[in-house]
Structure 1
Amino acid sequence: YPLVCDSQMKETPTSFPESDKEASQLEQEYVHQVYEEIARHFSSTRHTPWPHIVEFLKALPSGSLVADIGCGNGKYLGINKELYMIGCDHSQNLVDICREKHYQAFVCDALAVPIRSGSCDACISIAVIHHFATAERRVAALQELVRLLRPGGKALIYVWAMEQEYNKKKSKYLRENRISQGKKEEISSDTSVQELLVKQMPDVGNQDSAPSVPSINDFQDRGCNSREVTNSKLPIHTNRTSFHSQDVLVPWHLKENPGKGKPIEPFGPLGSHDPGPVFHRYYHVFCEGEMEAACQTLSNISILQSYYDQGNWCVILQKV
């Protein structure tokens, strides 16, 4: 395990990147290489589709061409048989899992997707953009999604939220700290639509409403809670707890033979001493309004809807 503790957790903690090159290197070590190592175990914990993503896909017209950018194990590629769906992921091992399921998937970088511009009726980006280590790279990933869309095409984007407690309700990520280790760990579908869809903001991409949305520069300068986020060491997040920093390394407790024996919680319950290898993935968790502000840096989109879904900020945008 080349990335386990000894090599990942250096004596000097990993610093927040100060250049695009450093950001790319951080992503390579703390995102791409990690997913290659944990792909099978990760896939075994990603099996229940999220209701609002299913709703988005099932509402698309029959025959639509849809790209899942960062498709993981292909959980959403077979949701609507009336669509022509293709997936891509940076991880060869995750793409191999998609192909085992007979889905169309290929390996690529989400910043340079080899699909013709304007050819997709819709795109989805689920739990991907929060792995990019600078605001500029996150905006570039959004721009690449928009490039793929035809005029009128829509994209659905999910990113992890800084606010894991919202409107006095804890996300399932926090609530599962109370769940026994043997229960299913998928953050998903046993809550009502009212709980899932907390906030809607139609048409916040229109010029009339733009002043109410903070600038992306505001988030770059101060973060969620006015803390300096540059020139600092990346903290290691304690799983199943609230976030205290936007840029964190999140532990993953690897189960070497997923599907055999007693299930193991991948995030590792508090107080656990799982002897398996521990990997660390980089995340930038988004503040309320930050994804909308990032989208508004793009010149050719309108935000149709934004909402909070179980610890994630979500946006539906349309290319105009």
Structure 2
Amino acid sequence: MAGNPNGSSTLGDSVTTIFNKNFWQDPFAFNIQKGVPVSRIDWSGYGTNMFSNWLSPSAVIAQTSQARFDVLMGRTAHEVIQVRSILYPWGIRVVRTITLFRTSSNYVYRVDSGWQAESEGLFDFRYKFLKVDGTESPVQKPYTIHPGVVRGLFNIKNIREDDNVDDFKAFNSIGSPQDIVVDGQEIHYTGSPFQQEVICRPVWFDADVEIENVVQGQHLSFTKEGIKTGRVACKKILGYVQLAPSGIPITPTQFANLLAAQGGAIGGTINCQVALHDSNQQMRINRFDINASGLPLNNIARTIEINLLQMINEENVPEPVKPINEEYIL
């Protein structure tokens, strides 16, 4: 302060990180930088006039989807910066918009939408990018995920960042020459080798968690296959919004390390009761988690279910859960 630069931005740290890494910093090479999207700029002795309304409908992961600048005589008249990303480990698509505008009284106002969910939490991490030859390359399953008895998260709201929880940070080692994806497009990078920063910011949010065979504490619903499920209201669920890199998700190893950073599991508290295999035997659940493990939640629940049914001499006993491709992320 006191006239000294402090590196702060009117966009806020999260949006600034995404915007700057999209248009300048990552990777730092003049031959591939797009620069700030301005469609017209005029200079005069009274100040600069600048106009732009840049849109990117394909923005998905840590990318800028809109950049509007209206500057009159060197002063901001109207500015809109919108970014989109994904929330781990649930696969929730999120968007955030910062709006700056000047009123007739010459005051400048700032409106921050905060992170808003654009999708449900269905563990959907699909993305696509343009290859060097210009063809589209969709990636359907960057991770192996088996949801188990937790079908997904719905009605996501009240997403808020928490400075008391550390960011998840890692690095991608970029060599030269190497084909890399930058902002949704693959390029043949020939600059100096560098460490590409990976940043995921912690957030808390509220949601309705859909659980199979829930009998108490839920809003009753059915899946497309006719399986009885219930959505249980849950508050303060932990997640991480990706801020970098842009256009691609984190690697499977980084995903596992993200979970490990929170003791191996990320989730939230819940209060409901489920029926074991549609029987009269019930179990109360007070927490749900996702973990990178060979012993997922549905494996634990199925083992308890089998033991209880065998204790009452039930004939209809389900088979134990078997791993799929020897991998689990639940």
Report TM bin, short chain: under 0.3
Point out the structure with the larger strand share. Answer: 2
Q: Which has the higher contact order (CA 8 A, sep 6+)?
A: 1
Which structure features the higher share of helix residues?
Answer: 1
TM-score w.r.t. structure 2 length? 0.23
State the TM-score, normalizing by the size of structure 1.
0.24
